Amino acid sequence: MTAREPDDDPTGDAGPAADETALGTDEAGKGPVLGPMVAAAVRASPASIPDDVDDSKRLTPAARTTLAATLHDSPDVDVAVAAISTDRIDDSETDMNSLTVAAQAEAVAQIARHGDRVVADAGDVSESRFARRVGDRVASDGPSVEVHAEHGADEVYPLVAAASIVAKVERDNRIEALEADYADHGPIGSGYPSDPTTREFLSRYVAETGELPDCARASWATSETVLAAAEQSGLSEF
């Protein structure tokens, strides 16, 4: 990927120099109806990140898996992940912006050191607000860090791209584990509402058990639609 040089940063908060140890953080799985949201943090110098690292959405699953393994195995790279469960996502007292802050901060806090610079993929319309919230959340449980947040940071900063890959692979691994857990009712598909296999899984599970699976986000419109359809079908049969 083509990394942004410090002088090219439009906000004035330059990303880390090639030889500076810093952190990148990003999340995966904000929109699916199944499974957790997963955030990752990567601490290294940008020069330690493989050249073929890129925004995870631009890479094949095989390439992501290989790069994630390389990052985990590198002695020059620290990696951490944090997952937000479906129970936390369904909590009416919170929202996805706050949970994205929590996920990234929880991942960063595991490996950050006092004074580290962090580049985050902004999960809020206000980049500065997101940066402030992540920094405050990390400092509340761990070291004080300097956070710069930017929309599309995973397309520009190698450390954030690396974090996006780790988060995506971890999320995919958890969905694969759910596939095995729900083998009697599967396949479950990708977990996204737009996936017909996922919608069919939810409908089939509700029809067979009368409730949503624990891996489903009950507050999502897709889940509510499936439950409503099952209820209507039951009334029709009655």
Q: Give exposure, 173-188, as e/b (b: 16+ Cβ within 10 Å).
A: ebbeebeeebeebbeb
DSSP one-letter string for 14-60 = PPPPTT--EEEEEEE-SS-SBS-EEEEEEEE-GGGS-TT---GGGS-
Residue 75: asked if its preceding bond is cis (omega within 30°), the reply is no
- Token pair listed for 238: 């009655």
- Which among 59, 110, 51 is positioned nearest to 82, based on CA atoms? 110
Position 5 scores a pLDDT of 44
Residues in the chain where the model's pLDDT stays below 70: 1-15, 18-19, 234-238
**Alpha-carbon gap, residue 47 to 19, rounded angstroms:** 6
Position 8 scores a pLDDT of 42
Burial (CB count within 10 angstroms: exposed 0-12, middle 13-18, buried 19+), residue 17: middle
- Token pair listed for 147: 């956070």
pLDDT, tens digit (0-9, with 9 covering 90-100), for 158-214:
999 999 999 999 999 999 999 999 999 989 999 999 999 999 999 999 999 999 999
Position 13 scores a pLDDT of 56
Contact between 174 and 38 (Cβ < 8 Å): yes
